[in-house]
Amino acid sequence: MKMKRRWNERTRLMLTLELAVVLPAAALVILSAWHLNEIQRDRGVEAAFQRDFNQVLAISEKQINEKAEGMADEVRGQFAGPGNTCVETLDRILATHPYIAHVFVYEPNGGLTFRSQPSRLKDPAFRTEADDLSSMTGGWLKMEFKDEVKSFEEKAKAGRRYYFFDNWPMRGEKHLYQSAALFLMSDGPNGNKAIGGMVFDAEYLRDPFFPEMLDSLLSHQEERGEKNHVVMMIHPKHEATPLVASAGWDGGEPEVERNLEARFRT
């Protein structure tokens, strides 16, 4: 793209960074349109904006991670230990946590116990999603259970409690973003182990979760009465259509002066 060299109160600098956070697991792109007023373009200015944006991104990543893990912790606390898995317990978890679409437990002796939100199963697309996830996780954990347990034990030494992966179920002619969290279960004294999992509801992530997180991350602007507002949107890597955008985005294309990329790994 040809760089534009007009600097006035209408010019906006687009900083593009690829963000890998715990909840989204796959790289998501957050675009921030910073309104610039009467500044001269030089390396010092660009470096300052990159530092500021990196700081915003790091704070955003941390807050999203903390929110996601807190929700996962709440669900995880209701799972029974290895050898005690039952359909009733998993159904009770779903009933008390509507933002979770599916829960499951894999045990070497008992195989996979997989449950989905019962009211959603009337939707053909949701049922297909449930069937695909059940088949995929059951087959995968059957083959990789020992290796996954070892991996979880290594992650635990570094303070990481979950393994997150993404899924893209169909809704009509579109795919929706979805995230799943796996964790290790152990009964301690007997050494029995199992792998538990939960899958966040795709519509929940699209509608309340991401919009509320972006509003929360940018709420300081209103509190401080800032005139130069930041606008954030999240969309899948290499795709132009955003999953969600914060308030203030007009849906148009910003004037892009420079693209800067930074990758974050958790």
Measured between alpha carbons, how far apart are the two ends of the chain, in Å? 31
Ranges 27-36, 69-78, 92-101, 132-141: which has the least confidence: 27-36
SS (H, E, C) 90-101: HHHHHHHCCCEE
**Could you give phi then psi for residue 187, rounded to 5 degrees?**
-95, 5
Ranges 11-15, 34-38, 127-131: which has the least confidence: 11-15
Per-residue confidence (pLDDT) for residue 50, from 0 to 100: 61
pLDDT surpasses 70 at 226: no
**Mean per-residue pLDDT for 184-213?**
89
Average pLDDT, the chain: 76
Kindly report, as residue ranges, where domains of CATH 3.30.450 are found in the chain.
79-206
Q: Which of 241, 220, 240, 218 is nearest to 230 (CA)?
A: 218
pLDDT in tens, 47-73: 655 666 677 777 777 788 788 889 999
Q: How far apart are CA 200 and CA 190, in angstroms?
A: 31
Q: How far apart are CA 185 and CA 82, in angstroms?
A: 6
**Mean per-residue pLDDT for 246-261?**
48
Measured in whole angstroms, the distance separating CA 24 from the mean position of its chain's CA atoms is: 2
CATH 3.30.450 assigned to 79-206: yes
Whole-model pTM: value is: 0.76
